[in-house]
Chain A
Amino acid sequence: MSTSTKRIAIAMMALSLMAACGGGSDASSAGPPGAPTLEKESAGGGEGSKAKLLTEADVTLGDIDAGMAEKGKTTYDVKCQACHSMGENRVVGPGWKGVTTRRKPEWIMNMIVNTDAMLAEDPEAQRQLEQCLVRMPNQNLSMEEARQVLEFMRTL
């Protein structure tokens, strides 16, 4: 660094001290040094992590509805089957046979529609991730589609 540049740097440091201690300056200079002026911008990503999870009361089961289950199977073929078998064995994720006896309906629904929130917060979901090591993708199913998939699971 040349001598002249040093001087400028020192001058700048002194100035920033003055500004910090100046008092009475407008609010925009009150933030920490280097704070951007874009607080209104939300951080990207992580969407869904604040999603409200479904509770027991949100999912009611009756007798198995064959029509719903059939629609669930159609969605399964396109969006789920690549990773979940209809048997007991794990492919990428767990096999679905008997899943509705192992997991509560609202837990299953939350894994489908609130995937990121579950992986962030739910200990059981996290334990499963430790086994599978592939984050379950959020396949963006609607609530209705997810409910149909749940119905299909009940037939397995």
Chain B
Amino acid sequence: MKRPLLFTTGTLTLAGLAFVLANSLPGCRPTTTQTVVTGDAASKVYVKPGTHDEFYNLVSGGFSGQLAVYGLPSGRLLREVPVFSVDPESGYGYSEESKGMLMTSHGFIPWDDSHHPEMSQTNGVPDGKWCFINGNNTPRIALIDLGTFRTHSIIEIPNSAGNHSSPFTTGNSEYVVAGTRFSVPMGEEAQRDVPISSYKETFKGTVSFIHPEPETGRMSIAFQIVTPAVDFDLSHAGKGPSEGWFFFSCYNTEQAYSLLEVNASQRDKDFIMAVNWKMAEQLAKEGKGKRVAGKHYSNWWNDKTHSSETTVIDDVLQLDPKEHPGLLYFMPCPKSPHGCDVDPTGKYIVGSGKLAALIPVFSFEKMQKAIAANEVEGDFAGIPVLKYESVLHGEVKKPGLGPLHTEFDANGNAYTSFFVSSEIVKWNVEKLEVVDRVPTYYSIGHLCVPGGDSKQPWGKYVIAYNKITKDRYLPTGPELTQSAQLYSIDGDKMELLLDFPTTGEPHYAQAIPADLVKPREVKFFKIEENQHPYVAKGEKESRVERKGNEVHVWMTSIRSHFAPDNIEGIKLGDEVYFHVTNLEQDWDVPHGFAIKGAANAELLIMPGETQTLKWVPTRVGVWPMYCTDFCSALHQEMQGYVRVSPANSTVPLKGETVSVDAGV
């Protein structure tokens, strides 16, 4: 769009001045909520009512444990997908079928901390099929099916603690990785019961390679590489020339186990760890690893039975790099690196030392030469450390304070977030020169460019995910909303277009053209294909049966009634299972189900699906049940009664729907 030159120049001068001022002040944080937003920003994010956004933005919920879905450029919240945390709105983790998704070797774990969404890829490009996300606290990786926007698979990661440098993918999603943040003692029980002060001797790190089955999305751990004890932070797969390698940032090479804030910030350089995963794959195939104790659960959602299936595995295949020279190398990287990002060409690896005042860029080609020429400066716990100068493409000097994470556009530019100086800095990867910078409000963590960590960035926007909003929104008590900020990167200068609030902590995100996802959408589940053991395919099959003190209700719902909706013969001491089948066969017609006194949540049943609510009545009486999801003009009529009698009652068990036309 044409814009008068005078205005553009004026704006840039003002913005530039503001930046210089902000950065020359101690604290480095812009202190005003008002920024100069250029004239047509509103029209660039306006999506006309009834029209769709151009991109899906999949944003982690951080400590909400979920994944939120926004449209871009509008920033409209479309859905919150329950992943690692129970969700009373949908019944996820409350329905009998979905509880298994949250089972682990520690039992039922109803919460986690979800950090990094990563889209599945085909030929190095996000394909819109799946989104992976990591659970940090009780180490897990989840796979979300983008046809249903539901959690389809969750695998627990053994011998891991604080599953942070995860779940980044190889170019054809052969593997997603899971790197441990905390090193821990592992193996059999006696090996795990050790003094914390024995860290250097007994603690180990691991990086796991998880294989999702292309057809089903079921996940299994192909192999796990044991590493020296450090903290792993982030990772990315190589691509193009570096295909077959994986890179992990690690800090705490001081091997501290207390007051890490100080003790893990001593060394000038930590490491980027380079893993030859093709070699590891080959070693695993040849049976070179050994199976080590590591009980873990793999849970999978079956779209035909509408139920979770759990597999328990007792051990894991481990590879020890000390036995396999060439599998692992360390590259020195200043200083406590966070981001570990590979540019679209696959030639360069960008380390973002969060305590450093420069950005080192490593060259894959130089790394290969250094390995061939054995240019090592020593070893770290038996793993060769390559010489910094030998593997370095170059450094971006004084780019800002606290570089965290970098993504890329298709034109050779990198965009790095700076937490301490609250800004995004654009720089040229080949020339290592800063070309632009914009402030963020405030304290940006990760950022996202559509396709920005893949072979083929779509570009157009960079989105900042901020940790603090302070004064930018209407206040809501002690806790304020967190936020994202959308910037245009089409022009030479980045341009702030929009702030939008987010749910939970927007830790990291991915964005993908909507056209790659929309054709996959499942509109309803075919009732003919429903294999749930308690499905009622039509009202004719609705009924009530007793098995000891269990009462099973085969219930149907359709606009706008349940069958049966009058149930008698329940006795105190009974456990009642409502298996509700939604008979609708059209898009966007879920029915809900709730009953008074239920100690869990509602059910939200998609068309063609069966879900089960367990209800244990505690008092004699007649109890109401109703549909919770507004379904038609007669939604408020979609209700029924359950009669509960004393334990010694002889009221016969029956369930019926009494129709004016019942005789026919």
Contacts and interface: CB of A to CB of B under 8 A. Distances in A.
Q: Do A and B come from one complex?
A: yes
Interface of A: 5, 8, 11-12, 15-16, 18-19, 22, 25-26, 28-29, 33-38, 41-45, 77-79, 81-83, 85-92, 95, 97, 133-135, 137-141
Contacts of A81: 538-540
A138 B586 contact: yes
Interface of B: 1-4, 7, 34, 36, 39-40, 42-44, 46-48, 50-54, 514, 524, 527-528, 537-540, 556, 558-561, 563, 583-586, 588-589, 632-634, 659-661, 663-664
21 contacts: A5-B34, A8-B36, A15-B7, A16-B40, A19-B1, A19-B4, A19-B40, A29-B1, A34-B48, A36-B47, A38-B48, A43-B50, A78-B583, A82-B561, A86-B664, A88-B661, A91-B661, A92-B558, A95-B664, A137-B584, A139-B584
Given A38-B51, A91-B661, A134 B634 contact: yes
B52 A19 contact: no
Contacts of A85: 659, 661, 664
A77 B586 contact: no
Given A15-B3, A85-B664, A95-B661, A79 B583 contact: yes
Given A36-B48, A38-B52, 6 more contacts: A12-B39, A15-B7, A26-B1, A37-B44, A78-B528, A91-B659
A86 B561 CA distance: 18
B585 A140 contact: yes
Contacts of A36: 43, 46-48, 51
B39 A16 contact: yes
A81 B558 CA distance: 10
A134 B585 contact: no
B586 A139 contact: yes
Contact of B559 (A12, A42, A92): A92
Closest 7 CB pairs of A and B: A87-B664, A89-B661, A78-B538, A139-B585, A77-B538, A82-B558, A140-B585
A131 B559 CA distance: 15
A43 B51 CA distance: 5
- Judged by DSSP, the binding face of B is loop
A8 B43 CA distance: 17
Contacts of A140: 524, 585-586
A133 B633 contact: yes
Contacts of B585: 79, 137-141
Contacts of B537: 77-78
A78 B542 CA distance: 11
Nearest to A8: B36
Nearest to A156: B664
A41 B51 contact: yes
B4 A134 contact: no
A87 B583 CA distance: 21
Contacts of B540: 77, 81
A139 B51 CA distance: 26
Contact of B2 (A19, A41, A45): A19
Contacts of A11: 7
Contacts of B524: 140
Contacts of B561: 82, 92
Contact of A38 (B7, B47, B588): B47
A28 B583 contact: no
Contacts of A12: 39
A83 B539 CA distance: 10
A92 B560 contact: yes
B589 A137 contact: yes
A90 B47 CA distance: 44
Contacts of A86: 664
A140 B608 CA distance: 11
A79 B634 CA distance: 19
A30 to B, nearest CB: 10
B660 A89 contact: yes
